[in-house]
Structures are given as structure tokens and as C-alpha cells.
Amino acid sequence: MVYLDIKIFLEENNIDVEFYGDFSCNFESFVEFNDIETATDFVVFIYTDDIVSYQTLLEKQVNKNFLLITNQYFDGVKNQIVAKNSKHIYHHIRNNFLPKAEIDYVISDKAVVNCAIDESYKIAIGPFTVIDKDVSIGNNVRIGSNVSIKNGTIIKDNVVIEDNVNIGFDAFSFYEMDGEKKKITSIGGVIIEEDVYISPGCIIDKGIDSDTIIGKGTKMDSFIFIGHDCIVGKNNVFPCGTIVAGFAKIGNNNYFGINSCIRNQAKIGNDNLFGMGSVIVSDFDDSNVAFGNPAKTKRSK
């Protein structure tokens, strides 16, 4: 890839960066910082405050051809892209210029698909997946193997559901009558909005009376549990092991650290960051940085 092509790509996408260097330079690969000693003609990212990495870069790469992507200009480096959100810029460039894997949109003959499928849509469904009759699947959807999707589920466009995911099972909710616990009937559904990514091993329960909703652009790592009647807004990120109990309401653009736990009926606003292992038992408004058991706000974003 030529530096000029990278420049054109960022400019066409209206991404605000500063360019330095020779735009005719050619780079062959993207590398992790630990691999720079043996690499040549590469693109690499480092943090501004990582002075040791910067000094190492200069010592080991002074005579090599490379492009540095960072958030502050560094003397002594010929080719640089400087941007406030440099890490995201690096990965955006990387995603665009790496070869794309072809997706084979095929429904396995070992899948059991009882719902209607629009033949004009691109849909991939892996073996041993079972999908009930009352399920709606949008366009450009990929569903892995051993997935179970129950009646009342709506999957919108550009959704990825990886292997061993369960969606739309009844709520784990009981009432007591005459000393006996009786299961509450669930008549709600699940709505998976556009551009949602669901990693292997996740569980999303259907609502009791209303729908459980996973908002547009939300990303779920492995072994996430979303309880019944939860409403999850747009562009939330759930690293592995997060548990969201029933009736919780979560706004937009929140990040929950690994193994976070969210109390039932909790209300969480927008743009919050919760640290690893946070136990969220109270409500939070917007733009908090919080962690701990129980989770408490340490500062504002």
C-alpha cells in the first residue's frame, strides 16, 4: 500500500488527521510494536505517553521505511499520521487495506430453519442451528453453528451471531402461590437491531410482556447474558462475562469492563465507562467513569 492511498482513503472518509512524510513511500504490512525489530516497510501504532516504545522505535528503525500512527508529532520520524483518536485510525486503515475474507452466504443443509427466508437476501446459517417459525431475519446476516433462535425474535440487517448462541428463551422468572413456585409465562420477544455483533456463547432472554431489545451497533463478547425485558441502546460494548439482569435500561455508547454485573431494573445513561468487575447496583446518568463493588463514580469523562 502506498502512503498516498492511505491519505486519500482518510480524506475521502472526512477523517481529521495530520499527515507528515513522503507520500510515495510503500508499506507492505501492519505490525505489532513488539515485532518492529524484524519488520520492514510497515505501519505501526504507539501511544504518545509510551516514551520507552518511542525511543525503542527510533533506535531500531532509524534506517527503515515505516509509517507511525500516533496522537502527537514525534521528532525524528519521517512518515507520520497524527490524530487524537490514533488507535481507532490505525485499525480503520488496517481494516480497509488488509485483504478481505470472502463470506459464503449459504444455509447449511444440517440447519433446521422453520422461518421464511427472503431469497434475495444474503444470509448464512451454520450447521445444527435451529430457528423457529416466527422469526424474522434481515439482509446480510451471518448466523453460526449450534445457534438456537426462538419464536418472537426479529434480527435486522448486518447482524453477526456466532456459534452456540441462544436467543429468545423464556425469562427465568417465577411467582409463588400456595407455597409453590410457578413459572411466569413469557409472551414478549427479542429485537436485534442493525449492525449488532454477538460472540459465541451468549444468551438473550425474551421479554415477559414486552421485547428485549439490543440496540443498533452494539457489540457483545463471549458469554454475555442479557435478561428478560432489558432495553440496550446503541453502540454499547460488552466484553466477556457481563451479566445484565432483567428490566435493566441502558442508554447509548457505554462500555462495560470484563465480568461486570448489572442489577435488575438498573437505569444507565449514555457514554459511561465501567471498569472490570464492576457491580452496578444503582442508577447512573451520563459520562461517568465508575468501577468497584458496588460501582461508584470516580470521575467524569
| Beta-carbon contacts of residue 119 (< 8 Å; ≥ 6 apart) | none
Q: Which of 261, 268, 257 is nearest to 243 (CA)?
A: 261
Q: Which of 217, 252, 228, 224 is nearest to 238 (CA)?
A: 224
Residues recognised as catalytic: 228
Can you say whether the dihedral through the CA atoms of 90, 93, 96, 98 is positive or negative? negative
Can you say whether the dihedral through the CA atoms of 258, 92, 162, 247 is positive or negative? positive
Residue type, 243: I
Cell of 53: 516504545
- DSSP strand pairing (180-183 vs 160-161): unpaired
Cis peptide before 294 (omega within 30 of 0): yes
